[in-house]
Amino acid sequence: MADNKLDIKAFLDKDEQKDLLRLLTAGSVDDGKSTLIGRLLFDSKKLYEDQLDALERDSKRVGNAGEHIDYALLLDGLKAEREQGITIDVAYRYFSTNGRKFIIADTPGHEQYTRNMITGGSTANLAIILVDARTGVITQTRRHTFLVSLLGIKHVVLAVNKMDLVDFSEERFNEIVADYKKFVTPLGIPDVNCIPLSALDGDNVVDKSERTPWYKGISLLDFLETVHIDNDHNFADFRFPVQYVLRPNLDFRGFCGKVASGIVRKGDTVMALPSGKTSKVKSIVTYDGELDYAFPPQSVTLTLEDEIDVSRGEMLVHPDNLPTVDRNFEAMMVWMDEEPMDINKSFFIKQTTNLSRTRIDTIKYKVDVNTMEHLSLENGQLTKETLPLQLNQIARVVLTTAKELFFDPYKKNKSCGSFILIDPITNNTSAVGMIIDRVEMKDMSDTEDVPVLDMTKLGIVPEHYEAVEKAVKELERQGFAVRLIK
**Which residue ranges make up the annotated binding site for GTP?**
27-34, 106-110, 161-164
Residues, the chain: 486
Q: Least Å distance between CB 408 and another protein?
A: 14
Q: Which stretch binds another protein (CB under 8 A): 78-86, 160-168, 176-184, 357-365?
A: 78-86
- Does residue number 285 form part of the binding site for another protein (CB under 8 A)? yes
Query: Which range in 85-93, 166-174, 453-461, 467-475 contacts another protein by CB under 8 A?
Result: 85-93
Contact code string over 122-161 relative to another protein, x by CB under 8 A? xx--------------------------------------
Smallest separation, CB 139 to another protein (Å): 23
| CA–CA–CA angle 90, 93, 94 (5° rounding) | 150
455 binds another protein (CB under 8 A): no
Q: Interface with another protein by CB under 8 A: which range of 31-39, 74-82, 138-146, 166-174?
A: 74-82
State which H helix or E strand residue 120 sits in: helix 114-121
**Least Å distance between CB 468 and another protein?**
25
Does 119 engage in binding with another protein (CB under 8 A)?
yes
Phi, psi torsion values for 370, nearest 5 degrees? -85, -35
Q: Is residue 410 classed exposed, middle or buried when 0-12, 13-18 and 19+ CB atoms within 10 A define those classes? A: buried
What are residue 357's DSSP bridge partners? 348
Binding-site residue total for another protein (CB under 8 A)? Answer: 81
* Residues in 28-57 at the binding interface with another protein, rule: CB under 8 A: 48-51
Candidate list 30, 60, 80, 373; residue touching another protein; CB under 8 A: 80
State the DSSP string of 29-44. Answer: GGGTHHHHHHHHHHHT
Binding to another protein in span 323-382, by CB under 8 A:
336, 348, 350-353
Closest distance of CB 32 from another protein, Å: 20
Q: Which of 206, 308, 322, 420 binds another protein (CB under 8 A)?
A: 420
Cβ burial, residue 311 (10 Å; 0-12/13-18/19+): middle
Using rule CB under 8 A, residue 2 touches another protein: no
The residues in 234-253 that bind another protein, with binding defined as CB under 8 A, are: 235, 243-244, 246-248, 252
484: three-class secondary structure by DSSP: strand
For the chain, how long is the longest CA-to-CA vector? 86
> Of 23 and 158, which has the nearer Cβ to another protein?
23
Within residues 252-281, the interface with another protein by CB under 8 A covers 252, 254, 256-258, 263
Using rule CB under 8 A, residue 61 touches another protein: no
Q: Is 12 or 461 the residue whose CB approaches another protein more closely? A: 12
- Give the footprint of another protein on residues 154-213 (CB under 8 A): none
Quote the CA–CA distance of 326 and 90 in Å, as a whole number.
Answer: 34
Task: Tell me how far CA of residue 88 lies from CA of 82, 105, 113, 411, in angstroms.
Answer: 10, 13, 8, 29
Cα–Cα dist 334/69, whole Å: 37
Do 237 and 408 touch, CB atoms closer than 8 A? Answer: yes
Q: Which one, 214 or 252, has the nearer CB to another protein?
A: 252
Cβ burial 112-134 (10 Å sphere, 16+ → b, else e): ebbbbbbbbbbebbbbbbbbbbe
Site string for another protein, 291-330 (x = CB under 8 A): --x-x-xxx-x----------x------------------
Whole-number CA gyration radius for the chain: 26
CB of 64 or CB of 386, closer to another protein: 64
Residue type (1 letter), 89? D
Rounded distance, CA 108 to CA 352, Å? 28
Annotated binding site: 27-34, 106-110, 161-164
Least distance from C-beta 62 to another protein, angstroms? 12
Contacts of 469 (CB under 8 A, 6+ apart): 484
Residue 318 per-residue DSSP state: B
Torsion of CA 448, 451, 456, 462, to 10 degrees: -140
Residue 39 Cβ, how far from another protein at the closest point, in Å? 17
Write down the least CB distance from residue 324 to another protein, Å. Answer: 18
Nearer to another protein, 122 or 193 (CB): 122
Judged by CB under 8 A, the stretch of 96-104, 189-197, 202-210, 317-325 that binds another protein is 96-104
**Is there a contact between 240 and 316 (Cβ–Cβ < 8 Å)?**
yes
Identify which of residues 303 and 328 has a Cβ nearer to another protein in the complex. Answer: 303
Check residue 20 for interaction with another protein (CB under 8 A): yes
